Every structure is written in structure tokens, then in C-alpha cells.
């Protein structure tokens, strides 16, 4: 069982002081938070991707590589990588590079995001969001597993003889979680490939996510990857803790009431009742999250949102101390009790290498022989500008 935190990278005014940190402040703070997560014994730090204010994380791999260089065992991940608006070729390259630089301590969560305008910003049509996600991941999946790829689809230019570089570390692709808060088709996609399914259950009642996870487990088994209980499930969560629950509620209320996502909506009490948000003592958090298994079955990864809604860095670090010192050690024990032997642990690079090679040494990837386009072969468009223009529908002018 892996425990960690995730950040959505929001830059929000602290309602108790009226101050708003700069982008530089928040970027440096994220690094400090990630390093402290490792220090208190957590396993994972995940970072979202956004391309609009008030968020700063437009390039997660850059930040995660920097964090990986300053940690020793922390798994760096995303929450999420936009499979719809990023080119799958660039995702393949960037995350294989992160995998190498981190020594295998990297995976990623794919999703469609929650910002509609991001589609036209990157030349995509939001009405094609689901087909785009399905097609793009099909290509990404192949790019990591085939040294040379010929491919043609609807939403990007074809590939001929293409080799994505660097090849995945040890010839093993980074593990992929498919993140969703509402879409059954994404659960189906995760099941089809035998990947992980991450239900970021921070907004809706548990029954909604229970349906998605049940569907994923059933379809995981349908596609022959194992039993429903062997499917790889991750959950999101939100907590704010103090030794005294009344102090926690009093301190967190102004941040909740002014949060950009759910502020000025339901009351803190109503939202806490409807969702996994738990504001109170460490024991209340333990009780709430130890019971998640009763709803969703045994699962592999639990991530918590801590650094949002304008909370100052000092407070976030205090929350990490409580989470790592008082809460997670107990949850590890509680969620391990009576855990069936056949339920797998969360995949890691080491476990994936072991599954692929057994006791043999892993394959050190070497790009396959050139078949054309992206290495040193002859370009199909090198003869004339007109020929190149015609290939892209520009007529005889080449413009």
C-alpha cells in the first residue's frame, strides 16, 4: 500500500492574511513539500498539470525531475497528465526521460483535466475529448512497447518507422494510472490495458466512485488481467488535522469557505459528510480512511490533498508531520490486516522489471534499426517545398 500527497498547484489568497504568494514562492514551496513528504515516510508525490492561472504547474516533468534529484526513494507522479491535449509522442519522450533520471521512481496518471478551454489552446476539440483520449493512449502505449512504430489515426499526423527516445528504462514502460472523477469510459480504458484506475474521490459521494471502481474491477477481470480483487485501484482524499477536532474546524473553515473549487457553496459540514474531506483529529482521519476498504475493496494507493486553498507553507508542513507521524503508520497497519495474499501491492519499477524478466537481467534498451522518418533516413518531403506543402494540404505553394 502506497501513501502520498498530490498537489493541484493552485495559487490562492490566504483568507486569514489577505496575502497571495507569487508563482516563484509556490514553485519553491512544492519542492519543499515533496522533500518533506519523503522525510516523514510517505511514498508518493504527485503533481497536477494546468495551463491557466491561478495554477502554476504547466510542466510537471520539469518539477518532478528536480524533486527526484533531491530525494532518494520518493515516487514522483502526476495528477494528472493531459492525454487529450499533449502529443502522445511528447508524453512518451518526457516520461521515459523522467523515468531514467529518477532511477525508475516515476509513474503517471492520465486524464482529460477539468478546464474546458485547454482544448482549443492546444488545437483540440473538446467535443472529441473521449475519442481523443482513447486514440492518444493507444499510441502512447505502443510507443513505449515497440521499438519502431507505424501508426495512423484521426487526431494527429501519421508515424512511419518512428522510434521514441529514450526507450523506457530497462525496457519497462512507466506504470500508468487512468484518473477519473466521472467517466465510465476511462474506467473501461484502464481495465482494457490492465493499468491502474485512480478515482479522485474528493468531490462526489462515495456511491459514485464505488460504481466506477466496481465497473473497472469487473472489466479488468473480463479482459483477462486477473480477478476483480487483483485490479489496481488508487483513491484521492482531503484532510486537515489538529490534535483537537474543534481547533481543526475553526482553523480550516476560512480556507474552505474561500477555496476556488468549492468555496461559497456547501458548508464545510455538508461537504465533509458528502465527500471524504475529513477535518478533525488524527484519529478521525484514521477511522474515516481505514473504512475506505469497506466501500471500495482492498486498494493500492492513497493520496491526500494538503497544499491547497491558500494554506501557508508552514501549515502544510505541519499537516505532513501529522500525516506521516500519526496517521499513515496506523493506516498501513489497519489496511494490511486480513488483506488477502492474492491482492497485489502497488506496482513499482522494480516489481514491473521482476514481472518482465524474472531472475534475468533487464534489457538495456537500444533503439531499433532505422526505418525512416525520425532518424537519419530520407525524408519523404525533401524533394521540393511544393511536395511538402501538398502533403499537408497546402496546395502547390508549400505555404
- Phi first, then psi, for residue 264 (nearest 5°) are 65, 25
**Closest listed residue to residue 175, CA positions, set 236, 234, 237:** 234
- Phi first, then psi, for residue 288 (nearest 5°) are -65, -45
Residue 241: strand, helix, or coil: strand
| Positions of E strands within 320-396 | none
Helices in 223-299 by DSSP H: which ranges? 245-258, 268-274, 282-290, 292-296
Grid cell 486524464 in the structure block, residue: 111
Express each pLDDT in 3-38 by its tens digit: 999 998 889 999 999 999 999 999 999 999 999 999
Express each pLDDT in 103-145 by its tens digit: 999 999 987 766 667 667 666 666 776 788 889 999 999 999 9
Indicate the pTM of the whole model.
0.89
- Sequence-separated (6 or more) residues with CB below 8 Å from residue 397: 386, 389
Q: Which residue has the higher pLDDT, 202 or 327?
A: 327
- Region 169-174: mean pLDDT is 96
User: Alpha carbon of 217 to those of 178, 204, 205, 273, 292: distances in Å?
Assistant: 13, 20, 19, 26, 16
Express each pLDDT in 57-94 by its tens digit: 878 999 999 999 999 999 999 998 878 778 999 999 99
Count of residues in the chain: 399
In the chain, domain spans? 2-368
Residue 395: the pLDDT is 41
Ramachandran area for residue 142 (φ above 0: left; ψ -120 to 50: alpha; else beta): alpha
Domain 2-368 in this protein, CATH class:
alpha beta
User: Average model confidence (pLDDT) for the chain?
Assistant: 87
Q: Which residue has the higher pLDDT, 39 or 182?
A: 39
Distance CA 329, CA 323 (A): 9
**Closest listed residue to residue 327, CA positions, set 370, 280, 294:** 280
Distance CA 13, CA 33 (A): 18
Amino acid at each position: 500500500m502506497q501513501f502520498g500527497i498530490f498537489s493541484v498547484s493552485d495559487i490562492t489568497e490566504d483568507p486569514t492574511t489577505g496575502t497571495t504568494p507569487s508563482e516563484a514562492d509556490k514553485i519553491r514551496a512544492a519542492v519543499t513539500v515533496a522533500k518533506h513528504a519523503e522525510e516523514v515516510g510517505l511514498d508518493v508525490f504527485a503533481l497536477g498539470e494546468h495551463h491557466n492561472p491561478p495554477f502554476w504547474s504547466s510542466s510537471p516533468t520539469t518539477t518532478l525531475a528536480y524533486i527526484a534529484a533531491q530525494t532518494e526513494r520518493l515516487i514522483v507522479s502526476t495528477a494528472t497528465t493531459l492525454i487529450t491535449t499533449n502529443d502522445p509522442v511528447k508524453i512518451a519522450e518526457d516520461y521515459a526521460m523522467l523515468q531514467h533520471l529518477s532511477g525508475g521512481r516515476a509513474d503517471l496518471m492520465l486524464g482529460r483535466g477539468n478546464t474546458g478551454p485547454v482544448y482549443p489552446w492546444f488545437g483540440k476539440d473538446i467535443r472529441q475529448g473521449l475519442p481523443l483520449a482513447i486514440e492518444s493512449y493507444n499510441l502512447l502505449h505502443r510507443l513505449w512497447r515497440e521499438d519502431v512504430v507505424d501508426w495512423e489515426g484521426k487526431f494527429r499526423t501519421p508515424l512511419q518507422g518512428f522510434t521514441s527516445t529514450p526507450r523506457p528504462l530497462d525496457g519497462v514502460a512507466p506504470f500508468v494510472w487512468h484518473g477519473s472523477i466521472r467517466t465510465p469510459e476511462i474506467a473501461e480504458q484502464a481495465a482494457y490495458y490492465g493499468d491502474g484506475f485512480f478515482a479522485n474521490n474528493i468531490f462526489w459521494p462515495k456511491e459514485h466512485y464505488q460504481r466506477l471502481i466496481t465497473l473497472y474491477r469487473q472489466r479488468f477481470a473480463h479482459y483477462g488481467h486477473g480477478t476483480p480483487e487483483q485490479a489496481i485501484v488508487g483513491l484521492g482524499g482531503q484532510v486537515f488535522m489538529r490534535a483537537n477536532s474543534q481547533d481543526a474546524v475553526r482553523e480550516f473553515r476560512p480556507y474552505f469557505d474561500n477555496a476556488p473549487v468549492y468555496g461559497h457553496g456547501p458548508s464545510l459540514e455538508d461537504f465533509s459528510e458528502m465527500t471524504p474531506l475529513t477535518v478533525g483529529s488524527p484519529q478521525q482521519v484514521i477511522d474515516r480512511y481505514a473504512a475506505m476498504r469497506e466501500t471500495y475493496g482492498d486498494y493500492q494507493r492513497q493520496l491526500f490533498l494538503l497544499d491547497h486553498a491558500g494554506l501557508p507553507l508552514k501549515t502544510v508542513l505541519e499537516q505532513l508531520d501529522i500525516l506521516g507521524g500519526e496517521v499513515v503508520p496506523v493506516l498501513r497497519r489497519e489496511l494490511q490486516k486480513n488483506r488477502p495474499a492474492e491482492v497485489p501491492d502497488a506496482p513499482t519499477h522494480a516489481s514491473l522489471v521482476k514481472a518482465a524478466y524474472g531472475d534475468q537481467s533487464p534489457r538495456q534498451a537500444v533503439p531499433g534499426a532505422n526505418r525512416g522518418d525520425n532518424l537519419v533516413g530520407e525524408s519523404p518531403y525533401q524533394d521540393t517545398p511544393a511536395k511538402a506543402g501538398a502533403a499537408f494540404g497546402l496546395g502547390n505553394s508549400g505555404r
